[in-house]
């Protein structure tokens, strides 16, 4: 089984070819960073136009790299939401055109499901597992019971983790995208140099909150003379970045530790804990979560960093998983700007 995957929901134009055995035969990601950098964030209209400019050539390249012609595919999978809708349209229309022209099954993939299933790509990870999904727009703890079957255990009540990284980077003038910049800066800093809060720590339940931490970073940056100051002391910036990253690590570690206990009670097994989404590329956080899992006799499974940030291999793989179960979609499937994962379980999607 071989599936072409297409991803255009944010600021990466991506195309990949993945087999049922979990072999990645092509995985191309074209970043639009340079186009968005002058604006300090993703501009939806620029993103959509850029996807349109590049997607055809990228798909052609991915097929050439995989050494395949379209009739040799078993399906075409595409991110159909959630995301910036202009970009999602570009990917969905491209995938529909290919599916229609070559009479291939069409697979409308939820972007979050792509992240959620990535850990099974090339591994024998079985259901159920506990998933911490941390990206630019999401921060959720989910029990993954099967393909399309996600039970939400907790989530952020305000900002997503990636958003907090991006805002911290902006406050410190570290540029865009924020996550990798904060991680690089934090490497040389002293996390004890600033005293930042850990919102929700010790509270009942499995929810997260990051807006208080973000505000505290702003105040700390202001009093240290770092706010919007490109000439601010680099050593102090490094300290604040490290303090922020450590605070996030403390919050994620405590919530995951509690979630593993809840998961063990509900499913009779101690995890494993899987981390996915762009923030999962962060080495400090991966290490913290690894310790949490090991402490209670569980294991952390984290996909390679390049498969944590947005890519099309994860979409192709989710397509493989859905195709195996006969979960194909009609060609009039509508792209969705909002599409919570839990809705997948409740939906009866038309197979053809």
CB of 201 to Zn ion, least distance (A): 26
| Site size with ligand KG4, rule: CB under 6 A | 19
Task: List the single partner that 178 binds among ligand KG4, Zn ion, none, CB under 5 to 8 Å by kind.
Answer: ligand KG4
Lookup result for tokens 């980077």: 169
CB of 114 to ligand KG4, least distance (A): 9
CB of 162 to ligand KG4, least distance (A): 2
| Site size with Zn ion, rule: CB under 5 A | 2
- Phi and psi at 281, nearest 5°, equal -75, -15
Distance (Å, rounded) from C-alpha 218 to C-alpha 333?
43
Q: Name the DSSP letter for residue 297.
A: T
How far is CA 207 from each of CA 139, 238, 252, 266, 269, rounded to the nearest angstrom?
9, 29, 10, 18, 22
In 3-state terms, what secondary structure has residue 230?
A: coil
CB of 308 to ligand KG4, least distance (A): 7
Neighbours of 303 (CB within 10 A): 23
Window 50-79: residues binding ligand KG4 (CB under 6 A): none
Distance (Å, rounded) from C-alpha 312 to C-alpha 78?
8
CA proximity to 8, closest of 93, 67, 99:
93
Task: List the single partner that 137 binds among ligand KG4, Zn ion, none, CB under 5 to 8 Å by kind.
Answer: ligand KG4
Per-residue string for binding with ligand KG4, 189-208, x by CB under 6 A? --------------------
Q: Judged by CB, which is closer to ligand KG4: 77, or 98?
A: 77
CA proximity to 4, closest of 85, 89, 54, 65:
65
Window 5-64: residues binding Zn ion (CB under 5 A): none
Under the binding rule (CB under 6 A), the answer on residue 159 touching ligand KG4 is no
Distance (Å, rounded) from C-alpha 290 to C-alpha 282?
12
347 CB contacts (<8 Å, ≥6 apart)?
A: none
Per-residue string for binding with ligand KG4, 275-314, x by CB under 6 A? --xxx-xx--------------------------xx----
Alpha-carbon Rg for the chain in angstroms:
20
**In angstroms, how far apart are the furthest CA atoms of the chain?**
62
Structure tokens at 301: 């499974």
Q: Is 339 exposed, middle or buried (0-12, 13-18, 19+ CB in 10 A)?
A: buried
Per-residue string for binding with ligand KG4, 170-189, x by CB under 6 A? -------xxxx--x------
Per-residue string for binding with Zn ion, 125-164, x by CB under 5 A? ----------x-----------------------------
Q: Judged by CB, which is closer to Zn ion: 7, or 321?
A: 7
Q: Judged by CB, which is closer to ligand KG4: 4, or 302?
A: 302
Task: List the single partner that 191 binds among Zn ion, ligand KG4, none, CB under 5 to 8 Å by kind.
Answer: none
Structure tokens at 199: 């919102």
CB of 332 to Zn ion, least distance (A): 25
Which spans of this chain sit near ligand KG4 (rule: CB under 6 A)?
10, 135-137, 162, 165-166, 177-180, 183, 277-279, 281-282, 309-310
Which spans of this chain sit near Zn ion (rule: CB under 5 A)?
135, 310
């Amino acid at each position: 089984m071989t599936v072409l995957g297409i991803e255009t929901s944010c600021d990466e134009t991506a195309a990949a070819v993945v087999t049922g055995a979990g072999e990645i035969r092509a995985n191309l990601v074209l970043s639009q960073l340079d186009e968005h950098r002058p604006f300090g964030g993703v501009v939806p209209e620029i993103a959509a136009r850029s996807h349109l400019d590049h997607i055809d050539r990228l798909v052609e390249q991915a097929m050439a790299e995989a050494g395949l012609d379209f009739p040799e595919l078993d399906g075409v999978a595409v991110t159909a939401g959630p995301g910036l809708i202009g970009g999602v349209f570009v990917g969905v229309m491209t995938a529909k055109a290919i599916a229609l022209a070559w009479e291939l099954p069409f697979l409308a993939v939820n972007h979050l499901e792509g992240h959620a299933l990535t850990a099974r790509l090339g591994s024998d990870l079985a259901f159920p597992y506990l998933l911490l999904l941390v990206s630019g727009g999401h921060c959720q703890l989910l029990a993954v019971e099967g393909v399309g079957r996600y039970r939400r255990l907790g989530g952020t009540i305000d900002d997503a983790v990636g958003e907090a990284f991006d805002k911290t980077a902006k406050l410190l003038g570290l540029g865009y995208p924020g996550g990798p910049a904060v991680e690089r800066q934090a490497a040389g800093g002293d996390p004890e140099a600033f005293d930042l809060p850990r919102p929700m720590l010790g509270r009942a339940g499995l929810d997260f909150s990051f807006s208080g931490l973000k505000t505290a970073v702003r105040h700390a940056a202001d009093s240290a003379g770092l706010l919007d100051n490109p000439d601010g002391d680099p050593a102090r910036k490094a300290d604040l970045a490290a303090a922020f990253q450590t605070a996030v690590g403390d919050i994620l570690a405590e919530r995951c530790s509690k979630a593993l206990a809840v998961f063990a009670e509900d499913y009779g097994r101690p995890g494993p804990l899987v981390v996915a989404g762009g923030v999962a590329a962060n080495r400090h956080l991966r290490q913290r979560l690894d310790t949490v899992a090991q402490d209670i006799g569980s294991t952390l499974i984290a996909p390679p960093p390049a498969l944590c940030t947005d890519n099309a291999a994860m979409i192709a793989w989710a397509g493989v998983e859905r195709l195996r179960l006969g979960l194909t979609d009609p060609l009039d499937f509508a792209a969705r700007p909002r599409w919570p994962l839990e809705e997948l379980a409740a939906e009866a999607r038309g197979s053809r």
